[in-house]
Amino acid sequence: MDGNPNLPVWTGGPGRSCLKRESADWRIIAVRTDQELAWEPVSVEHIVRDEWIDFRKVRYRYPDGREFGPFYQYSRKSYSVIVPVLPDGRFLCVRQFRQGIGETTTEFPAGGIEADGSEYGQVTREDALAAAKRELKEETGYESDEWTHLITIPSNATIADNYAHVFLARNCRKVSGLHLDVTEDLEPVIVTKEEIETMISEGRFQQMGHVMAYLLAVRKAGSL
């Protein structure tokens, strides 16, 4: 077997966990279903709950009966991230100030998903794609007829329950000016693949999910 023979090897599947040590001394060391690993909420306190966020303090009971807290978590709208590519292979990005880190970033267009009038919760891929098309046009003035869903993934599985829906938009074309929300202040920029990769390697493409989006787009398209 390749690698360290004493390291656990994943042999499970959906809904089931199974780690096995491939050595003379160890075989099965853990077999628990997802439900057997799940925590049970004991108490929930909503610290902030408005149209933007539901920020909570939660106490949990572990599978063995012990209780721990507080754990802080939140609900926000799920959102779409778009990797827009021009016919010549360059990428559309936007520059805007991000108050969390106090810096101006270069990143892909993105925006929250409105679904069934709800503040938070699950959305369909159709909802996410509609939001992606809207955000691309509003933030850059471009449209595309070639959309590919790349991934839907939790935005931060440790503390949040919303999802990022990532799309590749090819052969984008300019159709209008910008139509920004009242709180938005950004400018679109066109960058090459080499420029994005340099920014990533130097830590200047500063949205983690957008780095993932770029890498998935390149893998999917191959020749980008």
**Dihedral sign from CA coordinates of 186, 190, 196, 202:** negative
CA separation, residue 156 to residues 7, 19, 47 (Å): 27, 25, 19
Lowest-confidence segment of 44-58, 71-85, 119-133, 169-183 by average pLDDT: 119-133
Give yes or no for a contact between 120 and 46, defined as CB atoms under 8 angstroms apart.
no
For residue 172, report the phi and psi dihedrals to the nearest 5 degrees: -70, 145
Q: Could you state, in order of their start, the residue ranges of all structural domains in the chain?
A: 38-75, 79-221
65 contact partners, CB below 8 Å, separation of at least 6 = none
When mean pLDDT is compared across 39-43, 87-91, 102-106, 115-119, the lowest value belongs to 115-119
Give the separation between CA 120 and CA 116, rounded to whole angstroms: 10
pLDDT for the residue numbered 14: 55
Angle at 136 between CA 132 and CA 142, to 5 degrees: 140
Q: pLDDT tens for residues 143-162?
A: 999 999 999 999 999 999 99
For residue 123, the Cα-to-chain-centroid distance in whole angstroms is 14
For residues 54 and 223, the model is more confident at 54
DSSP lists the bridge partners of residue 146 as: 170
Q: Which two tokens stand for residue 187?
A: 């400018």
Does the pLDDT of residue 88 top 70, yes or no?
yes
Answer with the residue of higher pLDDT: 222 or 131.
Answer: 131
Of 13-22, 66-75, 138-147, the least confident: 13-22
Residue 25 has pLDDT above 70, yes or no: no
pLDDT value of position 16: 53
* Multiple choice CATH, 79-221, 3.90.79.10, 3.20.20.70, 1.10.260.40, 3.30.365.10: 3.90.79.10
What does the pLDDT read at residue 41?
A: 98
Give the C-alpha separation, 151 to 154, whole Å: 10
Partner residues linked to 160 by β-bridges: 74
